[in-house]
Amino acid sequence: MMKNYLLLIIVLFTGQSFASSFDEAFDLSAKGFEKQANKIAGYFNSDIGHDMDYQRQELMLLTSILSEVEEQFKDNPVFWFVKGVHAKNMASFNKQSGNEAKVIHWMDVKTKNYLKAMMLDKENKPHLSAASYAVMKSGLPLPHKQRAVEMELNLGGNGENDSYYWYLHWSNINELQKQNMFKEADEALLRMKQELALSDQADTFSGLVKTVDEELAALKKAAQSKSIKKVQKKSPPVRKHQAFTEEQAEEKYYQYLVLVGIVMAVIIVLLLLFEFKRRKNK
């Protein structure tokens, strides 16, 4: 009897711990699809001990259930984030199975689901968290990655220490630089400086600000130099006549020979006709 009670306590404890895994991992509430979200978070955040066949069955079941409730939660940003995390889990599983084609497929699905979640988050609740943006930013196309970094920054960052937040600023500026959005990068750097000045860590991270400042200035200079070279290398306006090349000269030479040959042939024919007529008149 004691053994049964002990087993019941263990099951209840682990079940409660597992039930809160999605909330704890991403600081989000998956109301209406909590069970699926918790299972997906469990796969995402730990090495599952089940054998491959069991994992396949459970992951495919989750895929099926999410598809069934999609219409119900189609405007819910958190739901699409969960679908994105599940797609990432599917890609990881297929990577273990050696199915590269499926890996590519599921990574593409992951990106589409994350972008859908980010789009819906602009207007719809429940809104996404800094932790969810921290997860999504990796692997997104450049403009969307920058927006994910910026949103994580706006939500206070997802790091466990202060340094992460300031390096997140740097990451945001860096993503803007990659797109040659130097005006926006300047504004992001100014924001970083202003926030740092109001904090008690200005001295600690002054070196980081200096590095970011120098990098931005060097990249802007390089971009301007590249732009000037492009202008200088522009082709001159096309004229009605073209430069006379050796190939053209050779072509013209043969044309002249043909023309001269034709003229000479005409002259010879005329001379023969004239001579024939002259002899006939004798």
Tell me the pTM. 0.73
% of the chain with per-residue pLDDT over 90 = 62
Could you count the other beta carbons within 10 Å of the beta carbon of residue 38?
A: 21
Give the pLDDT score at 252.
Answer: 54
Decide: 221 and 230 in contact? Cβ < 8 Å: no
Is it the case that residue 20 has pLDDT exceeding 70?
no
Which of 93-97, 130-134, 277-281 is least confident? 277-281
pLDDT of residue 223: 83
Burial 40-66 (b: 16+ CB within 10 A, else e): bbbbbeeebeeeeeebeebbeebbeeb
Looking at 86-95, 111-120, 149-158, 251-260, which range is the least confident one?
A: 251-260
The half-sphere exposure of 183 on its side-chain side, counting CA atoms within 13 A, is 0
| pLDDT over 70, % of the chain | 77
Which amino acid type is present at position 42?
Answer: G
SS3 content of the chain, % helix, strand, coil (to 5): 75, 0, 25
> Which of 115-119, 131-135, 170-174, 271-275 shows the lowest per-residue confidence on average (mean pLDDT)?
271-275
pLDDT at 238: 52
Between 276 and 106, whose confidence is greater?
Answer: 106
pLDDT of residue 72: 97
- pLDDT single digits (tens) 190-227: 999 999 999 999 889 989 999 999 999 998 888 887 77
Predicted pLDDT at 14: 40
Q: What is the pLDDT of residues 48-93, one digit of tens each?
A: 667 899 999 999 999 999 999 999 999 999 999 999 999 999 999 9
Higher pLDDT, 37 or 158: 37
What is the average pLDDT across 138-165? 92
